[in-house]
């Protein structure tokens, strides 16, 4: 039997009732209702209160639809039986549902405070490292040297490369959901491998379709990204995206050598996807006020960690106490009653009242107009200089402006790893071969989609700050 959930983005989502009972309606998964997808971005876009819960359901929905479409393609099902494809589909379903189950409070802001080494050790204890090693996935990479290697260097590549929230998701899968997953004839270690972008079955020499399923959750065109760009655009109200989801889902295809790709029949949709994702990054994630709001919360966390007896975010608190955004924000509120530092008191008041500092520029056009650079190459050089010397420049500006150091910030997007440059690697399939969108020409070579740093100072100091930065830049160049 199936149960339907109504989603504001995808409409009705069908879930096997056993999956609802054993996964969705459990405390670790329900915790995701209280972890916002975009951290503090709701301070800029009031509608951005959506959570990891509905995103996880959306990724599951898209993953199922894409895989079902792949199963209608004779080339994809050639040489592999229905029973094995059923196992692949169930593995993908659990991986899609649980890929973010380990996301800590405040999403990417919170995961900086997870103990990565301890999580890796836990995955060794749970047998995931051994599972990768048994199928030949080791720590060895091109250019790898064993000299001065640490314990982390000896771990299999997928575990060593994974983000902290991915590691915690895998720990949660193995600790909380192994029995439920095995009841469907699925290997929990394989589910974790999918979360990390790998397939144990494929690495062991099984059919190539196993590897394609893993790519559906972890690649430049994965359904994780597809859901969050559609969802973030809809929930923020940014309205910078126009993607025909039905046609996009139908465009997924695969090849035993090239892996997952998009077919040429949806070129217009792919173009909209590219433009929309870039626009969403630039005007939501990289919006100057979004950057400030999220860095403000990050700084509050850092201050609390520096002065509190117990850290506000740990893997143990997520696993055992189901720690969520509400608990951490309440910790902020209680700390503000007796602030651990002058900086914390001021930062919390800014957060509570939405009293933001001023940004010296709002976008790349304004940035290029005021900094001491005469060309695009000069602007990029200024950016590298600004970021490479941020701590020294913050101290210099604070002294010259005669303001506390914590009131001067040089920052970029709070999730810089999501910059859109990787979109150039999206594979397009045509006449039995694949090429990237960069080679095809859909992406182009544009400057506007490169992120810029922002400089935040107290109100009334913007013009003086720009002059001081330009003077320093010229002197050091």
Q: Summarize pLDDT for 98-127 with one digit per residue, the tens.
A: 999 999 999 999 999 999 999 999 999 999
**How confident is the model at residue 144, as a pLDDT?**
37
| CB hemisphere CA count around 267 (13 angstroms) | 11
Q: What are phi and psi of 429, to 5 degrees?
A: -105, 130
Tens digit of each residue's pLDDT (9 = 90 or more) over 422-455:
666 778 887 777 777 766 666 555 554 578 999 9
The edge-to-edge listing of strands for the beta sheet with 358-359 is 358-359, 454-457, 409-411
Phi-psi region of 259 (alpha: psi -120 to 50; beta: other; left: phi over 0): left
Tens digit of each residue's pLDDT (9 = 90 or more) over 358-405:
999 999 889 999 999 989 899 999 999 999 999 999 999 999 999 999
* Strand partners for 261: 253
199: how many CB neighbours lie within 10 A of its CB? 25
**pTM (2 d.p.):** 0.93
For Cα atoms 30, 36, 39, give the angle at the middle one, nearest 5 degrees: 150
- CB-based contact 334:440 (threshold 8 Å): no
Angle of helix 209-217 relative to helix 223-236, nearest 10 degrees, comes to: 20
List the domains of the chain with CATH numbers: 2-285 (1.10.3210.10), 291-417+449-476 (1.20.1250)
**How confident is the model at residue 145, as a pLDDT?**
40
- List Cβ neighbours of 199 (8 Å cut-off, separation of 6 or more): 190, 193, 210, 211, 213, 214
**How confident is the model at residue 267, as a pLDDT?**
80
Indicate if the pLDDT at residue 151 is higher than 80.
no
Q: What are phi and psi of 232, to 5 degrees?
A: -65, -40
Nearest to 253 by CA among 297, 294, 293, 216: 216
- CB-based contact 357:407 (threshold 8 Å): yes
């Amino acid at each position: 039997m199936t149960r339907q959930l109504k989603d504001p983005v995808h409409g009705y989502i069908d879930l096997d009732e056993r999956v609802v009972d054993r996964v969705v309606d459990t405390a670790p998964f329900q915790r995701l209702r209280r972890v916002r997808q975009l951290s503090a971005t709701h301070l800029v876009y009031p509608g951005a209160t959506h959570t990891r819960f509905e995103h996880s359901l959306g990724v599951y929905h898209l993953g199922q639809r894409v895989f079902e479409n792949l199963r209608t393609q004779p080339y994809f099902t050639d040489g592999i039986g229905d029973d094995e494809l059923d196992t692949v589909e169930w593995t993908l379903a659990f991986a899609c549902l649980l890929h973010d189950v380990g996301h800590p409070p405040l999403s990417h802001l919170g995961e900086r405070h997870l103990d990565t080494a301890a999580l890796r050790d836990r995955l060794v204890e749970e047998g995931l490292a051994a599972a990768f090693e048994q199928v030949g996935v080791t720590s060895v990479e091109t250019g790898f040297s064993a000299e001065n290697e640490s314990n982390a260097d000896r771990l299999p590549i997928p575990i060593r490369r994974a983000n902290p929230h991915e590691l915690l998701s895998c720990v949660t899968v193995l600790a909380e959901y192994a029995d439920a997953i095995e009841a469907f004839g699925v290997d929990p270690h394989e589910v974790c491998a999918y979360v990390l972008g790998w397939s144990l079955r494929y690495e062991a020499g099984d059919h190539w379709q196993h590897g394609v399923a893993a790519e559906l959750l972890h690649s430049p065109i994965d359904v994780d990204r597809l859901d969050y760009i559609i969802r973030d655009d809809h929930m923020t109200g940014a309205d910078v995206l126009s993607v025909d989801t039905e046609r996009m889902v139908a465009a997924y295809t695969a090849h035993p050598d090239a892996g997952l790709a998009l077919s040429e029949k949806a070129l217009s949709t792919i173009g909209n996807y590219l433009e929309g994702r870039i626009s969403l990054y630039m005007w939501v994630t990289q919006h100057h006020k979004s950057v400030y709001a999220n860095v403000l919360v990050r700084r509050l966390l850092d201050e609390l960690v520096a002065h509190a007896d117990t850290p506000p975010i740990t893997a143990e608190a997520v696993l055992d106490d189901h720690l969520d955004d509400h608990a951490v924000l309440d910790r902020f509120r209680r700390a503000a009653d007796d602030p651990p530092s002058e900086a914390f008191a001021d930062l919390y008041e800014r957060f509570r009242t939405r009293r933001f500092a001023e940004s010296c520029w709002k976008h790349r056009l304004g940035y290029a107009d005021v900094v001491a650079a005469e060309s695009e190459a000069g602007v990029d050089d200024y950016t590298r200089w600004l970021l490479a010397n941020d701590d020294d420049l913050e101290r210099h500006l604070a002294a010259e402006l005669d303001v506390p150091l914590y009131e001067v910030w040089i920052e970029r997007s709070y999730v810089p790893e999501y910059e859109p440059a990787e979109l150039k690697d999206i594979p397009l399939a045509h006449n039995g071969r694949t090429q990237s969108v960069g080679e095809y020409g859909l992406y182009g070579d544009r400057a506007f989609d490169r992120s810029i740093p922002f400089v935040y100072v107290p109100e009334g100091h913007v013009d003086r700050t720009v002059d001081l930065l330009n003077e320093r830049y010229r002197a050091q160049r």
